[in-house]
Amino acid sequence: MIPKGTVKIVIEENGDTASTTFEGGVWVISFTSCLVPGGRYNAVVQITDADTGKSSYGRIQFIAP
């Protein structure tokens, strides 16, 4: 578990980005992006540990509502 750090989300197809800092291992982020309904998108989630500077990445594929 990463106790504190930064979370960044990027929509690969249009470059929209949102980020937030967190503590206690829990994060909440609000994100608004202009997406085409029915379009397929990739959201890349980067979590960076505030103490070590190390990052982990994940990719979520989704279809816009």
Residue ranges making up the domain that contains 16: 4-63
Whole-angstrom distance, CA of residue 33 vs CA of residue 25: 26
Beta bridge partners, 43, equal 11, 60
3 state SS of 35: coil
Structure tokens at 40: 């397929």
pTM of the full predicted structure?
0.86
**Chain segment 1-12, per-residue pLDDT in tens:** 899 999 999 999
Kindly tell me the number of DSSP H helices and DSSP E strands found in the chain: 0, 4
Q: How many CB atoms lie within 10 A of CB 59?
A: 10
pLDDT band at 29 (very low <50, low <70, confident <90, very high): very high
Per the structure, the count of domains in the chain is 1
